[in-house]
Amino acid sequence: MNGKIPHVVQYQGSKRILAPQILQYMPRKFRRLFEPFAGMAAITIAAAREKRASQYHINDINEPLICLLQEAVNAPDVLIEKYTQIWSNQFDYSEGHLKHFYHIRNCFNAGEQTAENMLYLLARCVKGAVRYGKNGNFNQSPDKRRHGTNPRNITENVYAISSLLKGKSVFSALDYRQIFEMAEPGDLVYMDPPYQAVSNTRDCRYFAGIDFDDFSDAIKILNRKDVDYVISYDGECGGKEYGNELPQSLKCTKFLLNAGRSTQATLLGKRDTTYEALYVSESIAKIIHTTPSQMPLMGASENAT
Ligand SMILES: C[S@@+](CC[C@H](N)C(=O)[O-])C[C@H]1O[C@@H](n2cnc3c(N)ncnc32)[C@H](O)[C@@H]1O
């Protein structure tokens, strides 16, 4: 399918660009798609465009984020109207648009964790990166050069997403392990847990939860239940690897996806390409290897096993 995959708003770590590659490593059809670390749910949205599943379960431990996605899907008109209001107010704010961002951030941290406040903070903050301090408060700064995505652009995207997912999606803000319990044979679980390199460097509530051993252990639940899964995990750039390999006992197959030039490398004037690892469960690896029509699709990637 051509054209850009719609997204609600920028989100650091989004798989929107890689989604077409990732989808090539998934079965053509499955019953339900579970995305336990959804973020902006790029893979769910991409899979829904191709009608791969009949139901989509979108989960992230960050509750306001889920609130935002839920409203985007189920009540796009309400979300757009409220966002347009907040976004427009920044230009009339007596102390200037930056102070307006801090005002909304204060409201959010004081408990007004509404979908529109989350959307505005993400649209206006640096790199769409959610950062929470030790006290659990959202502490990311505004991007001083931008005013945040124009409501016109958000409107088009949000309606597109709503038409793909309305009536077919379930939302939750649970720990990923609870989602594993819900999955059954015939379903697919796509996981994009926070990279270890990220989770170890910041004391951010929403990135601190993933312990490598806990995660590997939890994957055993899916193996035991015979549930198919795909995991985006560690990264590799300029020969340097980030993150541990998943244990061989899980019987996954690892592929490397070409994610293009890294921003860091570009800034340093280097030509290093970033590779992102994708692990697929045992039965998916068999389908990929044995379906001739899928073989050429893997041309751009490198099977690292
Ligand atoms: C790398 S981001 C996912 C980005 C997503 N693939 C996208 O395209 O936008 C990882 C997500 O995992 C969530 N997360 C962190 N710990 C979690 C946990 N224990 N259970 C569920 N979600 C968690 C974070 O809030 C974050 O949104």
The pLDDT of 171-200, averaged and rounded, is 87
Judge whether 218 and 231 are in contact, CB under 8 Å.
no
Beta-bridged to residue 132, according to DSSP, are 138
Atom of ligand 1 nearest to the CA of 38: 5
What torsion, rounded to 10 degrees, do the Cα atoms 151, 157, 162, 168 define?
Answer: -140
Domains annotated for the chain, with CATH where assigned, are 19-63+171-303 (3.40.50.150), 70-155 (1.10.1020.10)
pLDDT of 294 > 70? The answer is no
Q: Give pLDDT, residue 82.
A: 98
Interval 178-196 mean pLDDT: 93
Provide the percentage of residues in the chain whose pLDDT is more than 90: 66
pLDDT at 230 over 80: yes
Which residue in this structure is represented by tokens 């594993």? 180
Residue whose C-alpha is closest to residue 200's, from 237, 242, 248, 138: 242
Amino acid 155 reads: T
Average pLDDT in the chain: 86
Which of 56, 61, 118, 191 is the pocket-test mutation for ligand 1 (most atoms within 8 Å of CB)?
61
Residue 142 carries which DSSP code? B
Query: Residues lining ligand 1, judged by CB closer than 6 Å?
Result: 11, 13-15, 36-37, 39-40, 42, 60-62, 175-176, 192, 194, 206-207, 209-210
What's the 93 CA to ligand 1 centre distance in angstroms?
33
Cα–Cα distances in Å, from 267 out to 129, 262, 271, 274?
Answer: 19, 9, 10, 14
pLDDT of 304 above 60? no
Mean pLDDT of 99-128: 96
Separation of 73 CA from ligand 1 center, angstroms? 19
Q: Which of 11, 34, 37 to mutate to test the pocket of ligand 1 (most atoms within 8 A of CB)?
A: 37
Q: Give the pLDDT band of residue 305 (cuts 50, 70, 90).
A: very low
Provide the pLDDT for residue 237: 55
258 pLDDT band, cuts 50/70/90, is confident
For the chain, strand residue ranges (E) read 32-35, 55-59, 169-172, 188-191, 228-237, 240-242, 253-261, 273-280, 302-303
Residue 100 has pLDDT above 70, yes or no: yes
- Specify the residue with its C-alpha closest to ligand 1, atom 13: 37
Tokens of 97: 């648009």
Over range 84-111, report the average pLDDT: 94
